[in-house]
Amino acid sequence: MKIAIVEDDINMRKSLELFFSDQEDLEVVAFKSPKDALKALDASFELIITDINMPQMDGLEFLRQLEGRYEAIVITGNATLNKAIESIRLGVKDFFQKPFKPELLLESIYRSKRVLEFHKIHPPKSKTPKTQEFFRASSKALEEVQKQALKAAATDASVFLQGPSGVGKEVFAHFIHEHSKRKDAPFVAINMAAIPEHLLESELFGYEKGAFTDATSAKAGLFESAHKGSVFLDEISEMPLKLQSKLLRAIQEKEIVRLGSHKPIKIDVRFIAATNTNIHEKIAAKEFREDLFFRLQTIPLHIPPLKERQEEILPLAEWKLQEVLQTYNLGKKSFSKGAQECMLNYSWHGNIRELLCVVERAAILSEGEQISQKDLFLERS
């Protein structure tokens, strides 16, 4: 297994290299910065171990640029809850706070190694087509938001979804679209944090031939492609300030202008936006336009975290377990009483996203027909 360690602290970097040198089945390559790593990473690497606080580019931005191509583990000396949650959102499997026991990190590495080897030997069977079943479990808190969402769906009003990472904001955006008069038209989801800033404007608004060096032909933007349908603007708080005025105009005037053109193009779309940050703090810091916020949040919907929807935890876990068992032909498995209690008592800072990830890993790595509390690996150092 080939591992990249990205760590700016030379003492930590060398210590980890020395510790792993005894593991003959692990090939470790260390980098002092994410930028150095990005130049060298290729398909031969399988796992990334990265610090978060580093000069020029932090570990989270580094992981965003990797776009989930590798298994990832985070190590940091400045752990915060927000960073841990953001790491989970980016697909990180474990999060270690310095100082930590290197033996625990090694255990985590071998868990990832076993999962990767399993996927190579047992490629997933093709999944059945998606149905319109949006919610696999229910709770009083969820049902209340669903009622509000159905009322919003019957209109063309802009909807602003708020809630922490992993609660299902994109699921709600799909739910609103599919229950609206626009359901037969496109649903276009755009993650503002996933598109590099220098490409975002052309992706959203399109461009004409010759608008920039590589523009060899005209291209419609995502807003045009969603005509008559719905646009979901995920992580809207990450939208660059200079583009916010163009989005405001698109909402107010129902028209956009491609890059390299002065000709307005009419669009008919319904905007649904979402964020997991405190948007009011962004507005106060002059990082987000207040007038745009008011346009986007005609109907505000707050989706509560999983810890406030406890009735959903075990049904969601069971649904995911059965899906994984079927996908990989793993036979019969079930959760022990201890595992169920552990899941009910865990905080789930990464919400539904974290729960589904934990269940999939436990289903693959557990031995026998019963998944124990230990198989969940929820007691992290």
Going by pLDDT thresholds of 50, 70 and 90, the confidence category of residue 125 is: low
Identify the CA nearest to 5 among candidates 26, 29, 21, 25.
Answer: 29
Q: Is position 34 within any domain? A: yes
Domain co-membership, 299 together with 194? yes
Task: Quick: pLDDT tens for 153-189.
Answer: 999 999 999 999 889 999 999 999 999 999 999 999 9
Domain co-membership, 84 together with 38? yes
Separation CA 49–CA 108 (nearest Å): 11
Task: Quick: pLDDT tens for 146-156.
Answer: 999 999 999 99
Residue 128 clears pLDDT 60, i.e. is over it: no
Domain co-membership, 7 together with 98? yes
Question: Which residues lie closer than 8 Å to 352 by C-beta, 6 or more apart?
Answer: 166, 167, 168, 306, 312, 316
**Residue 260 backbone class (left: φ over 0; alpha: ψ -120 to 50; beta: rest):** left
> HSE on the CB side for 136, CA within 13 Å?
18
Domain co-membership, 337 together with 220? no
DSSP class of residue 306? G
Which residue segment(s) compose the domain that 343 sits in? 307-376
> How many CB atoms lie under 10 A from the CB of residue 56?
11
Report the mean per-residue pLDDT for the chain: 89
Which of 190-194, 198-202, 235-239, 375-379 shows the highest mean pLDDT? Answer: 235-239
What pLDDT is recorded for position 81? 65
Domain co-membership, 117 together with 52? yes
Domain co-membership, 172 together with 276? yes
Q: Is position 128 within any domain? A: no
Report DSSP letters for 212-271, one per residue.
Answer: STT--S-B--HHHHTTTSEEEEETGGGS-HHHHHHHHHHHHHSEEE-BT---EEE---EE
What pLDDT is recorded for position 183? 94
Task: Quick: pLDDT tens for 50-97.
Answer: 998 888 888 888 888 888 889 899 988 876 667 776 777 777 878 888
> How many CB atoms lie under 10 A from the CB of residue 130?
7
Pair 76, 105: CB distance under 8 Å: no
What pLDDT is recorded for position 323? 92
Q: To the nearest whole percent, how much of the chain has pLDDT over 70? A: 95
Q: Is position 216 within any domain? A: yes
Domain co-membership, 264 together with 117? no
What's the CATH number where 193 sits?
3.40.50.300
Q: Is position 332 within any domain? A: yes
Pair 116, 291: CB distance under 8 Å: no
> How many CB atoms lie under 10 A from the CB of residue 151?
14
Domain co-membership, 245 together with 187? yes
> Using alpha carbons only, what angle is made at residue 64 by residues 61 and 66, rounded to the nearest 5 degrees?
115
How many domains, the chain? 3
Q: Is position 133 within any domain? A: no
Helices (H), the chain: 10-20, 34-40, 59-66, 81-89, 102-121, 140-153, 169-178, 197-205, 222-225, 241-253, 279-284, 290-296, 313-327, 337-345, 351-365, 373-376
Task: Quick: pLDDT tens for 259-289.
Answer: 999 999 999 999 999 998 899 999 999 999 9
For residue 369, the one-letter residue type is: E
With the CA atoms of 146, 149, 150 and 151 taken in that order, what torsion angle do they form, in degrees rounded to the nearest 10? 130
What pLDDT is recorded for position 131? 38
Q: Is position 132 within any domain? A: no
Residue 38 clears pLDDT 50, i.e. is over it: yes
Q: Which of 253, 277, 304 is the last residue of a domain?
A: 304
Q: Is position 194 within any domain? A: yes
Residue 333 clears pLDDT 80, i.e. is over it: yes
Task: Quick: pLDDT tens for 213-250.
Answer: 878 888 899 999 999 999 999 999 999 999 999 999 99
E strand or H helix that includes residue 30: strand 27-31
Q: Is position 129 within any domain? A: no
What's the CATH number where 78 sits?
3.40.50.2300
Pair 216, 255: CB distance under 8 Å: no
Separation CA 139–CA 159 (nearest Å): 22
Report DSSP letters for 84-125, one per residue.
Answer: HHHHHHTT-SEEEESS--HHHHHHHHHHHHHHHHHHHHSPPP
Q: Which of 304, 334, 364 is the last residue of a domain?
A: 304
Domain co-membership, 158 together with 97? no
Domain co-membership, 336 together with 278? no
Q: Which of 304, 331, 366 is the last residue of a domain?
A: 304
Task: Quick: pLDDT tens for 336-366.
Answer: 999 999 999 999 988 999 999 999 999 999 9
Pair 359, 333: CB distance under 8 Å: no
What's the CATH number where 372 sits?
1.10.8.60
Backbone φ and ψ for 97, nearest 5 degrees, come out as: -100, 130
How confident is the model over 108-132, as a mean pLDDT?
72
Please give the span between the terminal C-alpha atoms of the chain, in angstroms, as a whole number: 23
CA Rg value for the chain: 23
What pLDDT is recorded for position 129? 42
Domain co-membership, 300 together with 311? no
For residue 226, the one-letter residue type is: A
Pair 134, 274: CB distance under 8 Å: no
Which of 10-19, 89-98, 115-124, 300-309 shows the highest mean pLDDT? Answer: 300-309
Separation CA 72–CA 112 (nearest Å): 9
Identify the CA nearest to 54 among candidates 85, 83, 81, 18.
Answer: 83
Domain co-membership, 82 together with 226? no
